[in-house]
Amino acid sequence: MKTISIDKSYGGTQGVYVNRSEACDCDMTFAVFVPPQAAEGKRPVLWYLSGLTCTHANVMDKGEYRRLAAELGLIVVCPDTSPRGDHVPDEPDNWQFGKGAGFYVDATEPPFSANYRMYSYITDELPRLLAAEFPVDMDRQGIFGHSMGGHGAITIALKNPDRFRSCSAFAPISHPSVSGWSKPALRKYLGADENTWRAYDTCSLIEDGHRFPELLVDQGTADSFLEDGLRPDELRQACEAAGIPLRLRMQEGYGHSYFFISTFMDDHLRWHAQRLEN
């Protein structure tokens, strides 16, 4: 692991780091905020997964999480959204696929299967690195994210309910198998057999029996991707049918940007802190 930068913030430290990823076969950048309480012992860890076109830096620069994370004693980890590098296959003119659009899947279709293994990176490789290098209590983990990252957070939580105590999302892609902006990506990463996509689709995972104790989702009513891309009503229906408590808050007049995310960031941090401390 190589340290890119460390800055003091609210008594803690905001660091940016690079590791050579075996899962993605490239250098991966990630950010970690460590609160001041970590000087006294291990702290709960909260994963934030970003959306399409983002890197680790978007939420670090615009998410406004450090003040309250420092107060609550939360370590916040912000990974990148895809593999990077000149050797990584990409579609530079397609913002919904390739670099910046890993969709948190383990691709099975060449040439993308060689690098686009974000599920393994997030659930296996990066946690092992964090446990070795940072004062994290791996028995107290939460996960949240935005848009594509909201999709990643909920699907990862549903498949790993024994690892994560809490899960929330801002404007998640709830049903990517049918969403206009994610269906083409799943086909390229996972192949033409749509049954294989179910392992990375929140609504499908719930239909197939995966469960999580409760979910918090905030969604802006002025989000231009609401109907085709995000489909929160389908998430509501899936959770109701499965008996999963879902707190879906439709936030009047808010869009899809970090103006929306930063407005409700404190609510999500408190949601996770309550479940990670108890």
Name the nearest CA neighbour of 15 among 41, 33, 1, 40: 33
Q: Residue 196: what residue type?
A: T
CA 248, CA 3: separation in Å to the nearest integer?
A: 38
Which residues sit opposite 45 in a β-bridge?
75, 141
Tokens of residue 212, six digits = 């999580």
d(CA 211, CA 154): 10
The question of whether 147 is a catalytic residue gets the answer yes
Instruction: Give which of 189, 23, 156 is closest to 77, Cα–Cα.
Output: 156
Q: Is 256 a catalytic residue?
A: yes
Token reading at 114? 């060689």
Q: Which of 146, 175, 210, 256 is catalytic?
A: 256
- Both structure tokens of 174: 């709830």
Residue 80 designated active-site: no
From the list 146, 174, 223, 272, the catalytic residue is 223
Q: Active site residue: 82, 147, 168, 182, which one?
A: 147
User: Distance of alpha carbon 256 from its chain centroid, rounded?
Assistant: 15
The sign one gets for the Cα dihedral 72, 77, 78, 81 is negative
User: Which of the residues are catalytic?
Assistant: 147, 223, 256
